[in-house]
Amino acid sequence: MVRTEIVQSLWSGYGEIVRVTLRAAKEPSVVVKWVDPPTTASHPRGWSGAAGHARKLRSYQVEECFYTGWLPAPERGHRTARCWFAGALADGSHRFVLEDLDAAGFRERSDLSITPAQLRACLAWLANFHARFLGREPEGLWPVGTYWHLATRQDELGAMKDPDLRAAAEPLDELLNGCRFRTLVHGDAKVANFCFGADGVAAVDFQYVGGGAGIKDVAYLLSSCLSDAECEAQAERWLAVYFAALRAALGREVDADAVEAEWRGLYPAAWADFHRFLDGWAVDHWKIHSYTRRMTQEALAAWPSR
């Protein structure tokens, strides 16, 4: 085999993703996610403290569990990269040998900008994913999915500037986690984690997959690709797109009306929960705009009565 290119470095110096060409193999190339955790001595700039380090290490264990025990068949509705190998090595590093989605026809990437057709495809992917795992317990995964969930973000909670939002952090967390209809959430469903092609869309990066209400993925996706003005003008339209796809994926055996009613009701809380994280992590972040604040105020006005 010949290592051909570095695709990207992992967050905080935890390794890299490389594309490898193969000779005399069924696949012309694979993508290898090479996780080599830093230490305070070897990577001081990448060190994020004991809590952050432990969270990242756990995230790679979760990703390994997802690829080896949960990964669905590569269906069009919720396409993922096939996994040829996922495991920890003796030195504490992890290796993931994955299908090269570029070679599979999913070459297009976006970061912040996205076309309406691409956003529709992402929402359909989430709807199919949420429908597939509705009611399943997240064994081996995060009990609560998403990289910002409160139990793992106590440092950010302590750094929050908004006293009202800080006081509501635990009630909001309990509200979201106590939902009747739980599924698996992707946990980091930003635009950059979707790969687009003529055959639809595929998702990558399952470090923070776990249990929860599917609407958390939807709110986070919209926050990653829509501006303040676009959220105000388009969010309801995109929610309708998501719930239409979810209904189609759930089938008749599930009370789709009840699922939609609960998750729609939790939509402001999902925004407020992410706002809580941002307030303690990067209070001047561009995602904290008037729509975010409006959703948070709606959630804060509702939670004391629940």
CATH number at residue 221: 3.90.1200.10
Q: Is residue 249 part of a domain?
A: yes
Q: How many domains are contained in the chain?
A: 2
44 lies in a domain?
yes
Residues 205 and 144 in one domain: yes
pLDDT, tens digit, for every residue of 49-99?
788 888 988 999 999 999 999 987 666 667 999 999 999 887 778 899 999
Q: Are residues 228 and 92 in the same domain?
A: no
Q: Are residues 14 and 56 in the same domain?
A: yes
Are the beta carbons of 125 and 186 closer than 8 angstroms?
no
* Co-location of 244 and 166 in the same domain: yes
Mean pLDDT lowest for which of 102-116, 144-158, 284-298?
102-116
The pLDDT confidence band at residue 9, using thresholds 50, 70 and 90, is confident
Higher pLDDT, 213 or 88: 213
Average pLDDT, the chain: 90
Please check whether residues 299 and 171 belong to one and the same domain.
yes
Q: Is the per-residue pLDDT at 12 higher than 90?
A: no
Q: In this predicted structure, which of 107-111, 260-264, 270-274 has the lowest mean pLDDT?
A: 107-111
Output the furthest CA–CA distance in the chain (Å, rounded).
64
In a domain, 45, yes or no: yes
Q: At what angle do helices 169-177 and 267-281 cross, to 10 degrees?
A: 140
Same domain, 198 and 247: yes
Within-domain flag for 291 = yes
> Is the same domain home to 72 and 40?
yes
CB 201 within 8 Å of CB 226: no
Q: Which of 169-183, 189-203, 245-259, 292-306 has the lowest mean pLDDT?
A: 292-306
Answer yes or no: is 177 within a domain. Answer: yes
If asked whether residues 31 and 133 sit together in one domain, one would say no
Pick the last residue of a domain from 64, 99, 134: 99
Measured between alpha carbons, how far is residue 219 from residues 115, 133, 270 in Å?
A: 17, 19, 6
139-148, 193-202, 254-263: the lowest-pLDDT one: 193-202
Percent of the chain with pLDDT over 70: 92
Query: Are 210 and 93 within one domain?
Result: no
Instruction: Give yes or no for residue 294 having a pLDDT over 70.
Output: yes
* Half-sphere exposure of residue 306: CA atoms within 13 angstroms, side-chain side: 18
Tell me the pLDDT tens digit for each residue of 153-169.
Answer: 999 999 999 999 999 99
Whether 155 and 277 share a structural domain:
yes
Q: In what order do the strands lie in the sheet with 83-88?
A: 2-9, 15-21, 29-35, 94-99, 83-88
Out of 99, 129, 161, a domain closes at 99
* Residue-level pLDDT at 280: 97
104 in a structural domain? no
Amino acid residing at 175: L
* Domain-embedded: residue 71: yes
Q: The domain that contains 19 carries what CATH number?
A: 3.30.200.20
Any domain includes 176? yes
What is the arithmetic mean of pLDDT over 244-254? 93
Instruction: Using the 3D structure, point to which of 80, 99, 118 is the last residue of a domain.
Output: 99
Domain identity same for 31 and 171: no
Range of the domain at 205: 109-305
Instruction: Indicate if 12 and 73 belong to the same structural domain.
Output: yes
Whether residue 126 contacts residue 217, with contact meaning beta carbons closer than 8 Å, is answered with yes
Strand order in the sheet with 79-80: 79-80, 200-203, 194-197, 108-109
